[in-house]
Amino acid sequence: MKDQLGLYYYPAPQHTEARMYVRRFGGRIEFRMWHQGDPSVWDKHNWLSLDVIQQAAQMFKAMGKESDPTALYDVSVAERLLADE
């Protein structure tokens, strides 16, 4: 899907108030979250490359946290959206 901010998908389809925007920058796919109920999400978080997201996941794991921050970032969906553009 696409709107004035760019290409996006719903990282949790049952919660359409949150969107994950995707773009290709410098040959890499980048992600940026937007949330209808909290505009600061977009303002406070910049575009993130998959490398940064994977590093964060490793840090979470090293700290013993069970949550996986990569779950919201779907590379295959992002690649498909960008290919269809």
Could you tell me the residue ranges of all domains in the chain? 2-84
pLDDT at 69 > cutoff 80: no
Confidence (pTM) = 0.88
> Which residues are within 8 A (CB) of 16 and not within 5 positions of it... i.e. 6 or more apart?
10
pLDDT at residue 61, as a whole number: 85
Please state, in angstroms and rounded to a whole number, the distance separating the CA atoms of residues 39 and 17. Answer: 11
Please state, in angstroms and rounded to a whole number, the distance separating the CA atoms of residues 67 and 78. Answer: 22
Please state, in angstroms and rounded to a whole number, the distance separating the CA atoms of residues 66 and 54. Answer: 14
Q: Mind listing the pLDDT tens digit for each residue in 15-63? A: 999 999 999 999 999 999 999 999 999 999 899 998 998 888 888 888 8
Query: What's the gap between Cα 9 and its chain centre?
Result: 9
Please state, in angstroms and rounded to a whole number, the distance separating the CA atoms of residues 85 and 79. Answer: 10
